[in-house]
Amino acid sequence: MIKPFVAILMDSDSDLPVAKAALEVLKNLGIQIEVKVHSALRTPDIIRTYVADADKRGVAAYIACAGMSAHLAGVVASLTVKPVIGVPVSNSSLDGMDALLSTVQMPGGTPVATVAIGETGARNAGYLAAQIIALGDKELANRLRMERQASAEEVLAKDAALQQQLAG
């Protein structure tokens, strides 16, 4: 059986600091990852070949990180029926709003799930890709539940510490 993986694509190597947040989430959850730099506008034939090959090899989802005009997620979505998660990157004078709007405004029938601008968005893209894979992987779903529980316990511990500080 082919183990599903997540392909993280960046329009430029300058997007790596943002993409690393998704990488960390996926690695911590034990999910196989491929990372590539493929420009939507400068290497469209390479993207077409890569997506066709990744689809055949068992990619479960794509995460596309791009700034400015941010065409990468839309181009990938046009080439596959696998889920595509777009991460807008803030690398322009518009603080990522241009990338956000370019990523989220896809025509009907070519969806791109779009997350927040920057590292928080990339982290959520990693979790969303993991949740997609967890639909068919009970062990992964359990790891995600345990991570959420640990996060909740961390918040409760912080609240308890605050309450104790305020009472003292």
Q: Is the pLDDT of residue 30 over 90?
A: yes
Say which residues have a Cβ less than 8 Å from residue 120's Cβ, sequence separation at least 6: 21
Q: Is the pLDDT of residue 1 over 70?
A: no
Picking from 66-70, 86-90, 109-113, 157-161, which range would have the lowest pLDDT averaged per residue? 66-70
Give residue 150's identity as a one-letter amino acid code: A
Q: What is the mean pLDDT of residues 54-64?
A: 97
pLDDT band at 80 (very low <50, low <70, confident <90, very high): very high
* Mean pLDDT for the chain overall: 95
Q: Looking up tokens 């997007």, which residue turns up? A: 15
Residue 24's pLDDT is what?
A: 97
pLDDT in tens, 10-21: 999 999 999 999
Q: Is the pLDDT of residue 168 over 90?
A: no
Cβ(64)–Cβ(9) below 8 Å: yes
pTM, 2 dp: 0.93
φ and ψ at 40, to 5 degrees?
Answer: -60, -35
Burial of 12 (0-12, 13-18, 19+ CB in 10 A): middle
- Name 85's bridge partners: 63, 113
Residue 56's pLDDT is what?
A: 96
Domain regions of the chain by residue span: 5-136, 139-168
Q: In three state form, how does the secondary structure of 20-50 look?
A: HHHHHHHHHCCCEEEEEECCCCCCHHHHHHH
- Name 89's bridge partners: 67
E strand spans, the chain: 5-10, 32-37, 59-67, 84-89, 113-114
- Name 10's bridge partners: 37, 65
Fold of 5-136: Rossmann fold (3.40.50)
